[in-house]
Amino acid sequence: MKSFEIPQQYRSQIISQIKSARKSEDPRKQDFTPTELDFGPIRFLIARHFGFCYGVENAIEIAHETIDENPGKRIFLLSEMIHNPIVNADLKERGINFIMDTYGSQLIHWNEITSSDVVIIPAFGTTLETERLLTEKGIDIVKYNTTCPFVEKVWNRAAALGKDKFTVVIHGKAKHEETRATFSHTINNAPSVIVRNFEEAQFLCEVILGVRDKKEFYSFFEGKYSPAFDVDKDLVKIGVVNQTTMLAGETQAIANMLRETLIKKYGENNLSQHYADTRDTLCYATNDNQSATMALTQEKADLAIVIGGYNSSNTSHLVELLEDKFPTYFVSGADKIISKEELTHFDIHTRKEIYKKKFLPENEQVTIAITSGASCPDSIVDAVLNKLLSFYDEKINLAEALSRK
């Protein structure tokens, strides 16, 4: 796989050594057991896979190259490059302005953007409407397009489904940049509907089986289906694709439930005429990170810390996987760990930061499970590890801990 030039401030001392060793030991990524770093009074269980994925590294490299290649030009990003506050702050510091926020609200009016400006399309991609608008302004939408190839793979699969007259069910968050982009591209080729979770998919199944009136569909999924969507015609043939940062297991569960619903309605012998197998749209990085996180849950730990941007979908799903097993704290960086006694963490359920006292147990040895989102630089994980290590005096040094693993 291609390697990228990542800015020095995102590189790490600790994590880079761990990842290099794991890559050498397990090049095919078949071992999901975590890496153990034992410093004596504190012990870390570090997930096998985490941090920058291919799409994120590609986007960051293109963004920094764009800055270097266009001195004196105004450079804009359509919205956040990725969902990490430190990376986005770095880009702003280098002179990049954001046209929209993460939910699509306008920060800079389109009238202010001219053909002499450079506009970077973020890793999530963008809608066909925005692409047309930029093209009409004379702005190049290819050279500075950082759309993740795995997102484009979903778009291509959806287009193929449309060609075969299948309706596309998108498993995703309707307000997320990637889902908005996928929906825009998909409805150009096929009838489409967005389902957020298993419960919404179940509602859709009840509509298919006639348990719910079709009027309920239009009300329940308002704003989440394509124009002129016809329940009677457009729920006869179905294929499922996903927002690449969703829980892979949930996407598969939704697909399986829709499959069983279509078997119930049309019979197993006729399934191929009504259901398309679309497992190939799941992102490799999402799968690997979630599998590595599940492997963490098989270990014994006192708590878990997940590091990343609070609006990062893939990171919040890692929190979901861990919080059933451990007290789990979602932090954006080392500054959220105030002392050995205190930290501030993000609650994914209330969407608020919470102050916590005595988050570290007073054990002879404290074991902490560690992972981070796909948009989190390894240097931030290093900073969290070093902050936690700073609370303990009688610890061995890094070189010795690395040699023991």
pLDDT tens by residue, 345-374: 999 999 999 999 999 999 999 999 999 999
* Mean pLDDT, rounded, for 130-136: 96
Q: Report long-range pairs for 310-313 (Cβ below 8 Å, ≥24 apart).
A: 310/85, 310/346, 311/80, 311/83, 311/102, 312/82, 312/83, 312/84, 312/245, 312/373, 312/374, 312/375, 312/376, 313/83, 313/173, 313/176, 313/178, 313/243, 313/245, 313/246
pLDDT tens by residue, 252-305: 999 999 999 999 999 999 999 999 988 767 788 888 999 999 999 999 999 999
User: Mean pLDDT score of the chain, rounded to an integer?
Assistant: 93
Return d(Cα 119, Cα 66) in angstroms, integer.
10
Q: Is the pLDDT of residue 137 over 90?
A: yes
Return d(Cα 359, Cα 341) in angstroms, integer.
6
Q: Is the pLDDT of residue 37 over 90?
A: yes
Return d(Cα 150, Cα 405) in angstroms, integer.
33
Provide the token pair at 300: 């014994």
Q: What H or E segment, with its residue span, contains residue 250?
A: helix 248-266
Query: Can you give the pLDDT at residue 367?
Result: 98
Top-tier CATH class for 8-53+285-404? alpha beta
Does 8-53+285-404 match 149-282 in CATH topology?
A: yes
In the CATH scheme, what is the code of domain 54-136? Answer: 3.40.50.11270
Query: Can you give the pLDDT at residue 192?
Result: 98
Return d(Cα 262, Cα 216) in angstroms, integer.
19
Catalytic residues: 178
| Cβ-count burial 237-269 (b if 16+ within 10 Å, e if not) | bbbbbbbbbbbbebbeebbebbbebbeeebeee
- Non-local (6+) Cβ contacts of 304 within 8 A are 296, 322, 323, 325, 326, 327, 328, 329, 368, 369, 370, 371
**Which position has the higher pLDDT, 268 or 395?**
268
Q: Is the pLDDT of residue 323 over 70?
A: yes
Provide the token pair at 287: 């799968």
pLDDT tens by residue, 334-350: 999 999 999 999 999 99
Q: Is the pLDDT of residue 400 over 90?
A: no
* Closest by CA position to 180, among listed 227, 132, 144, 129: 129
Provide the token pair at 246: 């969703």
pLDDT tens by residue, 297-306: 999 999 999 9
Query: Can you give the pLDDT at residue 1?
Result: 61
pLDDT tier for residue 117 given thresholds of 50, 70 and 90: very high
Asked whether the beta carbons of 278 and 319 are under 8 A apart, the reply is: no
What is the end-to-end Cα distance of the chain in Å, rounded? 27
Return d(Cα 79, Cα 339) in angstroms, integer.
34
Query: Can you give the pLDDT at residue 115?
Result: 95
CB atoms within 10 A of CB 39: 21
CATH topology assigned to domain 149-282 = Cobalt-precorrin-4 Transmethylase; domain 1 (3.40.1010)
* Mean pLDDT, rounded, for 44-58: 94
Domain edges within the chain: 8-53+285-404, 54-136, 149-282
Say if pTM beats, i.e. exceeds, 0.95.
no
3-class secondary structure per residue, 71-124: CCCCEEECCCCCCCHHHHHHHHHCCCEECECCCCCECCCHHHCCCCCEEEECCC
Query: Can you give the pLDDT at residue 199?
Result: 97
pLDDT tens by residue, 158-188: 999 999 999 999 999 999 999 999 999 999 9
Provide the token pair at 281: 């749209």
Within 122-236, where are the H helices?
Answer: 128-136, 149-163, 177-186, 198-208, 214-220, 231-234
Q: Please name every residue paired with 239 in a beta bridge, in sequence order, or none if there are none.
A: 168, 276
Query: Can you give the pLDDT at residue 280?
Result: 63
